[in-house]
Amino acid sequence: MSCSNIWERSRILLHFAHLVEKHSNELAALETWNNGKPYEQAAKTELPLFVRLFHYYAGRAGKIHGLTVPVDGLYHVQTLHEPIGVAGQIIIWIYLMRTYYFNTSKKLFCIIKEFINDCSLFLTFSKSNTQAGLPPGVLNIVSGFGPTAGASLASHMDVDKFAFTGSTDIGKIVLELAAKSNLKPATLELGGKSPFIVCEDADIDRAVELAHFALFFNQGQCCCVGSHTFVHERIYDEFLEKSKARVMKRIVNDPFKKGVEQGPQIDSEKIQYCNTKYVTRQILCTRLQLVNVRTRYQWIMIYEL
């Protein structure tokens, strides 16, 4: 792939985007089965954005230029962009489509370790990449557990750059493995949630809706979820009552049904986390009942408000 010309790279990315667009309904359904997010969100928001971004990076293939730097004296200074080499990545399961294009569209050689419970979408994308003309071995998907597959990838001597998206605790381990091996540069995206701030003169109804969306978007499973809301004391009581009312109206059901706002959590571990951290402490100020919903493939658990 590094020996191919820029037009060939652009063609492959555009062909891949076309295949994704052609099979967008099936891919959106697969994302919903894997992740639990509403089908409408996957089909109407994430898939179109996925296609547009691959078009963008296809156009960028021929526009990666260096700089000419003015200096004193009889000297000529310029910078050049060169491929860094093999990029290893551990991605998060929250937004598989977004993490896929961010972690593959700009790479020449890439190895991705995906979430063990949510691997079929990436394998489908990998097949589409091959159909689009991507040479064998350029994109590699590794499915396994963090302490084995993830640690091996982070510490591998032939990996030149590493990226990780996940928790701070695991990020520390990844950074140590990258440093102890070949001192490879590592990019860590460890979340971090700034508060949602509602000022005294805010439109309360609008603020309630935005704060609700920020907290519950993607079943509350988001690295930038609005889990902290700061409200001015003069409007606090009104904001709280309207927020509770909005929570009670939230539509939680089968994610394939039209109009559903929230589907199941990704797995039973996240259900237990919600039970322990939120439900037992009554942070939501409302009663949540755990129910089972039968799907075609397995039992999944969701919260019914």
Query: Which residues are marked as active site?
Result: 189
The distance of Cα 199 from the centroid of its chain, to the nearest Å, equals 30
Question: Distance of CA 257 to CAs 135, 173, 220, 232, 254, Å?
Answer: 39, 41, 19, 37, 6
The encoded tokens of residue 276 equal 């322990």
> Strand pairing partners for 69?
77
Strand, helix or coil for residue 283: coil
- Give the span between the Cα atoms of 83 and 72, in whole angstroms: 30
The encoded tokens of residue 2 equal 């590094």
Question: Distance of CA 168 to CAs 87, 175, 224, Å?
Answer: 21, 10, 14
CB 160 within 8 A of CB 84: yes
Torsion of CA 93, 106, 29, 20, to 10 degrees: -170
- Give the span between the Cα atoms of 98 and 89, in whole angstroms: 14
Q: Which residues contact 272 (CB under 8 A, 6 or more apart)?
A: none
- Give the span between the Cα atoms of 87 and 100, in whole angstroms: 13
